[in-house]
Amino acid sequence: MMMPASELICRRGHDEEAAGYPSYNKPQTKPLLPWLIRYVMGEQRLAFAFLGMAIASLLFLLLLHNSSPSSSTTTTSSSVAHLAAVGLASRHLPAVPVNRLGGPTGRVPLGLKRKGLRVVVTGGAGFVGSHLVDRLLARGDSVIVVDNLFTGRKENLAHHAGHPRLEMIRHDVVQPILLEVDQIYHLACPASPVHYKHNPVKTIKTNVVGTLNMLGLAKRVGARFLLTSTSEVYGDPLQHPQVETYWGNVNPIGVRSCYDEGKRTAETLTMDYHRGANLEVRIARIFNTYGPRMCIDDGRVVSNFVAQALRKEPLTVYGDGKQTRSFQYVSDLVEGLMKLMEGEHVGPFNLGNPGEFTMLELAKVVQDTIDPNARIEFRPNTADDPHKRKPDISRAKELLGWEPKVSLRDGLPLMVQDFRNRIFSDQKTN
């Protein structure tokens, strides 16, 4: 007699279980805890787990310690207390820099110096530019001098020959140049009447096209740009002394306009890049400057008088000699330029010595310094020669903390010694 199929299947499964075969009709379960212990203990998994937890705990404690404002406050307070105990607390203690969370910023490890900047100085082989290069190298920066040597001289940088952080490129800024730099001091332009009247079209191209090229470079590489403008932007001023808000009285078609209007346009371009391209810029308006390395025959009054007195020639005074100028020593100017570049104010800033001298008074100082018997010779005045020139430097004093320190009677002998060496060494050579 045959059994029903359902009863046969049930009986077969029953027999298989009895024989020790697993049943596939119900799920097989293993005890979880013994299996987990065997898994963790196998192949050193437990050791790796403890090691990972230890590393994570150590990192967490370090981060917590560094970000804790209380630790830095406690350290600073204990340091001040210690200084007070030994009698040094009266000294000025620098503020401890803090980050946004209130904790101290990262400290510079001992032995590491300030990272030098990469700085371009156009016109760096000239009178002012070479003194600026001296200061930048002494500070630890790497300097690229760009100069076409129209008025600059290689001799002005000869004492840096072989310097590992100085590079000299003979190049005219009227042509574009590609460099990777952090700061640009744009000094390139003939600054004396003799030189800028020699080729007025080239002078205004240097002021306009050259400034455009250097502004474009600054924009391309994100460099801070400083323009050295001039007191000549005030022209023959109707306001005395001249403040930065004075717009000037300039003859746009006169023989000096290639320089005067060129610098005014350079200021315009600089401010347009600042407003339109968000470029970091600085503008300095430089007043009469003197010192070693000036061109001997550049037509400027101080170099004229010094060279003439040394050569036993008459001191040539143009007009009635009552025109006034203000004379600053070159080291004071360089200090002002660097403070302006490193500061947070765009400008323009007057950089000059407010001490005012007539041409006759200047001639007397030169006589006293070089030759009391030097004659004075009067000649007709030149076109568009300003009658008065004196800077108001209140803004530079307040915002830059700058003012000139070297008087004319202290600085002039240093210039005289340099001129004497160069003039008489040239005569010996000839």
pLDDT level of residue 192 (50, 70, 90 thresholds): confident
Is residue 117 over pLDDT 90? yes
CA–CA distance, 384 with 379 (Å, rounded to integer): 15
Is residue 210 over pLDDT 50? yes
Q: Could you give the percent of the chain with pLDDT greater than 90?
A: 63
pLDDT of residue 80: 40
CA–CA distance, 23 with 89 (Å, rounded to integer): 88
Q: What is the mean pLDDT of the chain?
A: 83
> Per-residue pLDDT tens for 361-392?
999 999 999 999 999 999 988 777 788 889 99
CA–CA distance, 143 with 118 (Å, rounded to integer): 6
Q: Which residue in this structure is represented by tokens 């590992």?
A: 164
Mean pLDDT of 50-60: 81
| Neighbouring C-alpha atoms within 13 Å toward the C-beta of 86 | 7
Q: From the candidates 234, 259, 273, 290, which is the catalytic residue?
A: 259
Q: Which residues share a beta bridge with 249? A: 235
pLDDT of residue 97: 39
Is residue 93 over pLDDT 60? no
pTM score > 0.85 for this model? no
Q: Which of 80-84, 256-260, 421-425 has the lowest mean pLDDT?
A: 80-84
pLDDT of residue 182: 97
Greater model confidence, 186 or 297: 186
> Per-residue pLDDT tens for 60-85?
888 776 654 444 444 444 444 443 44
> Per-residue pLDDT tens for 278-324?
999 999 999 999 999 999 988 889 999 999 999 999 999 988 889 89
Domains and their CATH numbers in the chain: 118-291+328-355+390-406 (3.40.50.720)
CA–CA distance, 227 with 235 (Å, rounded to integer): 18
pLDDT level of residue 104 (50, 70, 90 thresholds): very low
Q: Catalytic residue at 259?
A: yes
pLDDT level of residue 209 (50, 70, 90 thresholds): very high
